[in-house]
Structure 1
Amino acid sequence: MPLLVFSLMLVVFGLTTGEFVIAGILPDVARDLSVSIPAAGLLVSAYAVGMIAGGPVITTLTARLPRRPLIVGLIVTSIAGNAASALAPTYPVLLAGRFVAGLVVATFFAVAVATAVSTAPPGRQASTVARLTFGMNLGMIAGTPLGTFVGQNLGWRATFAAIAVFTAIALALVLRSVPDRPAPDIGSLLGELRVFTSRDVVLAIALTAAGNLGVVTVFTYMAPLATDVSGFSGAALPLLLLVYGAGAVAGNFLGGWLADRALMPSLAGLLAVLAGALAVGWTASGHQVSAAVLWFVLGVLAFAVIPGMQTRVVATAQAAPTLAVAVNASGFQLAAAFAGWLGGRLIDGPGPRSMYPVAAVLTVSGLLIALYSWRRDHRRLAATPSPRQPVTRQ
């Protein structure tokens, strides 16, 4: 793997760990800062709101900056946010730290993908993106369980400190490998933003938000679901996160393989199966063995839909793919922000177990968007006149 791709993949690993590790240390944070579990869940929302705001705004404002200083600045901001989280003396300061850490993530993903692809050999762009995205899988399967283990044994502050240190090490590799190139030649700001007047682009971003909302709600509150509903001990959480992460790796490759062959049919089918798996969670979560299997299945399905969703955005936003990918990441985080709030309300109301059927219904909303988009594609194809076939004389 080229050093450039490897260094960017390490940063993706650190960012992903910082985003998802809160699921494993949520009770520790709540206990240490004397806040409720639902209040601690809003830390996920703060990170997500940072991504939602930062994705379109920072990507647009920095579109004309040279790529190397831009990437470095984004990584330094993330390090500062995680360091502030580790040192936060109060809950409001921790909320601010999570917001800052999330502020640059969507832009970094978009710029990192564009930079890696621009240096890839001909015909290797897709595999280069897959290697970069593998950092996200590693963050799930290794970083999140490891960060949870560190938090349970050294305190949750040590988790955020470790993420900041690791990302700083990755930054050193980025400084050695990212070429110093001028900013890309783009059109006017109005021309870039005009891509969002396309209904297909808006539907693709809405599909990302709605299709992920249910499973993100369940994952955000994995700790109380595993301990209070399934009867696991707190010590079992890193193992459950590892199980979920293993499913995520398998799902990433499965989803990419399916999307290459039938994009919208595979997305619709995966969302239908995901909704069914979440509905089954109402009963399966009551037993430890079936709950462990459920977490693996949810990891597979949650990440199997991501390659297709990203591909759909790029395919519908060819005029401004970098901005569209950043906004799509914001769409995912919009789901995460709402998930942090919604899960807290369900815990305070009907109880944590109710998340499973509610998440299933929310996933069906994403399925309906996928089916509608698929139908639009069929109508467009049917309305396009086929090229006249030449007559062959025998």
Structure 2
Amino acid sequence: MTNIDQSIPASAGRTRIPPFAFVLTACIGVIGSNSLALGPVAPDVAQSLAAGVPAVMTASAAFGLGTAASAIFLGRLIDRHGPRRMLMAALLLLAIGLAGSAAAPILPLLVAAQLVAGGATGIALPAIYTLASVIAPAGRESETIGLVLTGWTLSMVAGVPLSAAIADFAGWRSIYIVITATTLFACAAVRFAPAQEEAAGRTTSPLVALGVRGVAPLLLACAAFMAAFYGVYAYIGDHLHVRLGLPLSANGIIAVSYGLGFGAAAFLDRLMDRFGSDRLLPLIFLVVAGIYVLMSMASGSYAAMLVVVFLWGLANHFGLNVLIMRLTALDPEKRGAIMGLNSGVTYIALFAGTLGFGTAYAGGAFSVLPLAAAGLMLAAALAAAVARR
């Protein structure tokens, strides 16, 4: 497995987080930018390709499907060839998918290109999370993983508004051209980062990885955690615009509030390293459940929603961070396969959560959705507690 050289002098008795962590943060930012790019510009894409917006969003569904499938069935190759090598290959494949998206003359080709991009993402994400756990100095695991996770904040706070601005100025295709160039730059940064190669490991099948003690309940917790997030997040914008009568710009501010909360948590990640992750995870999930209850109560007030969504981002960062710590620590030789299962479960939960919560939203008020999410978080806390035992 690939390992990053951590021979960096300690400062004040603490080993510094390797600079390579910032490269991984940028990789997450690039991946997140593509994941979030299509939704805001879907009307422009629909007009350009002579299709309806729902038809255009099938490209987003194809991206999710490709991500889930490759993460589950190809994530195990990370253990065989090393996370750095697989990350470089995935970024090159992602660049191909993005370039295909930019050049697509008809909708089916855009869908196919996003399927390719999803396949690349399904390898890249578990490779990044595996690398983050490999390079983390002892005692600073949570800080290192938390730093890498702030890439999602970059894509949400900077990537989405920047994509909208680029689309207004130069058209939607230019978004994918810019992200393609950024992906190639990130691939070069991964390639030339100081690294020490180790002997190749063994390929682990998904079923074998699933059999590792503690993996199954933690994946159940991941499924509940992610279904709750995507199920609620998918319909906040419609609730604010249609049911509260706010302008579309209010949706962007909500996204920024969540992203700022998610990113601000990185400054507190060092506190996570002082406690056992097995004890923390059920408690964090219970806190997230409480925030969902607050969201249900605050759903009629935009100002209150901004505050609650900030707290939501803060708590979700901790939940995702500690969940990744738990999973990567279960069996270092099978980290790639385990993280592949994690990414696959995440995108399956995206599909299930969006579909299930959409049915509930169509038949009732938005305030029902956070309460349903709170119930899922109680299930996640229970699964995390079982995994600890």
Q: TM-score under structure 1 normalisation?
A: 0.79
Alignment correspondent of 1:392: none
User: Which of 126, 129, 134 is residue 110 of structure 1 equivalent to?
Assistant: 126
Alignment correspondent of 2:340: 326
CA distance in 1, matches of 2:277, 2:122: 23
What amino acid is aligned across from residue 55 of structure 1 in structure 2? Answer: A
What amino acid is aligned across from residue 145 of structure 1 in structure 2? Answer: P
1:336 pairs with 2:347: no
Alignment correspondent of 2:322: 308
1:160 pairs with 2:176: yes
Alignment correspondent of 2:201: 186
Contact 1:23 1:220 in 2 (8 A): no
Within 5 A, what are the aligned runs for 1:373-384? 373-375=384-386, 377=388, 380=389
CA distance in 2, matches of 1:39, 1:324: 34
Alignment correspondent of 1:247: 261
Give the direction of change, closer, same or farther, for the CA distance of 1:227–1:376 in structure 2 (3 Å limit): closer
RMSD: 3.4
Alignment correspondent of 1:384: none
CA distance in 2, matches of 1:318, 1:142: 34
Alpha-carbon deviation of 1:41?
Answer: 5.1
Within 5 A, what are the aligned runs for 1:286-297? 286-297=300-311
Give the direction of change, closer, same or farther, for the CA distance of 1:290–1:189 in structure 2 (3 Å limit): closer
Alpha-carbon deviation of 1:126?
Answer: 5.1
Deviations 1:124-166 (A, max 9, x none): 6554434333323322332233224434554443333322222
Any idea what SS the aligned residue of 1:233 has?
coil
Within 5 A, what are the aligned runs for 1:1-394? 4-26=20-42, 28-29=44-45, 42-61=58-77, 63-65=79-81, 69-115=85-131, 118=134, 127-152=143-168, 154-177=170-193, 179=195, 181=197, 184-187=199-202, 189=204, 193-198=207-212, 200-254=214-268, 257-258=271-272, 260-264=274-278, 266-282=280-296, 284-342=298-356, 344-345=358-359, 349-350=362-363, 353-354=365-366, 356-375=367-386, 377=388, 380=389
Contact 1:41 1:344 in 2 (8 A): no
Any idea what SS the aligned residue of 2:222 has?
helix
The answer to which of 52-61 and 42-51 deviates more is: 42-51
What amino acid is aligned across from residue 308 of structure 1 in structure 2? Answer: V
Contact 2:218 2:383 in 1 (8 A): no
CA distance in 2, matches of 1:297, 1:374: 23
Deviations 1:83-128 (A, max 9, x none): 2223333443333322221212242233334446555666665544
Deviations 1:325-378 (A, max 9, x none): 22112211111122343455456x336x53x4234314423422422441564x
Any idea what SS the aligned residue of 2:316 has?
helix
Contact 1:213 1:359 in 2 (8 A): no
CA distance in 2, matches of 1:127, 1:85: 35
CA distance in 2, matches of 1:152, 1:345: 33
Deviations 1:281-327 (A, max 9, x none): 44533333223223323322332311121122123344512211221
CA distance in 2, matches of 1:174, 1:4: 8
Larger radius of gyration: 1
Identity %: 23
What amino acid is aligned across from residue 284 of structure 1 in structure 2? Answer: A
Give the direction of change, closer, same or farther, for the CA distance of 1:340–1:243 in structure 2 (3 Å limit): same
Contact 1:85 1:157 in 2 (8 A): yes
What amino acid is aligned across from residue 261 of structure 1 in structure 2? Answer: F
Any idea what SS the aligned residue of 1:64 has?
helix
Alpha-carbon deviation of 1:68?
Answer: 5.3
CA distance in 2, matches of 1:117, 1:258: 15
Contact 1:313 1:324 in 2 (8 A): yes
Alignment correspondent of 2:14: none
Contact 1:66 1:180 in 2 (8 A): no
Structure 1 segments unaligned to the other structure (5+ residues): 381-394
Alignment correspondent of 2:10: none
Alpha-carbon deviation of 1:32?
Answer: 5.7
